[in-house]
Amino acid sequence: AVASCCQVCRSWNREIGQDSPNLWLHLLQRQEWSQEIPAHMGAQDSNADQCRALRSLFQNHYVAVRDARALALAIPSMQSTSRQSTQSVLPEIEVTYQAFGSRKHAPHDTDICVAVEEWAPNHVLAGYANECSLRLFQAVHFRGKEKRCKELVCQNVDPYKSTKKRTCRLNAVGLDEETIGCLCHVSSSKLDDDISAFILVVMQREDFLMGESSAVAAKGGGDVTSEEL
């Protein structure tokens, strides 16, 4: 109802969503969350200032509770020893969880996911350190209401992958509406161990999407079957 009221006109949108602190105060009270505004948010000299502070306070509470619930749901599944366990996939609540290790062509267990970026609604881009790769996933419906993480694209971003003289490790990933930036650490027998050499790999989103999934690449082309999701 509140969201509908905000769409009636600009005045209502400004009053409910921007100027009045009452909405965010009500949401905090309904969840019985702390309404005390931290000192670092500064003085609240006007309704607009108080509205921004309470909105930030509500968002901080919500993110903390959401992440805690996600961990409580995911950890038992991650500890499951059977790949065929029904706990390896959880129904969608606020998040969709799937044990990535149970997928074919997944990164090695010791690999580290250094970044997860929102690509688009229901799409995330993940970067893996040791294999220096980017993988694009989509949450898709699978067998009714269940959702699975389908890998759409997997690309190795190591500029030295064709040579054995240098190796790269992915350290960080960032993206905007057009490009993807990858910060890679370069190691070589010619470089002093105390010297860190880094290289920034930049590619267009459209170029990245021309890649294949790891399953398709392993099969030498063709479609990915449902068993490979």
pLDDT digits over 149-158, tens only? 788 899 999 9
Structure tokens at 48: 């607009």
pLDDT digits over 78-128, tens only? 666 554 444 455 555 555 555 666 666 777 777 888 998 989 888 999 999
Which residues lie closer than 8 Å to 24 by C-beta, 6 or more apart? Answer: 51, 54, 55, 57, 58
What pLDDT sits at residue 162?
Answer: 82
What pLDDT sits at residue 60?
Answer: 87
Cβ atoms of 58 and 36 within 8 Å: the answer is no
Cβ atoms of 99 and 78 within 8 Å: the answer is yes
Alpha-carbon span 51 to 25, nearest angstrom? 9
pTM for the full predicted model: 0.55
What pLDDT sits at residue 221?
Answer: 46
Cβ atoms of 205 and 152 within 8 Å: the answer is no
Structure tokens at 170: 């992915």
Which residues lie closer than 8 Å to 171 by C-beta, 6 or more apart? Answer: 114, 129, 183, 184, 185, 198
Q: Which residue has the tokens 């969201």?
A: 3
Alpha-carbon span 223 to 45, nearest angstrom? 60
Cβ atoms of 34 and 6 within 8 Å: the answer is no
Alpha-carbon span 72 to 88, nearest angstrom? 14
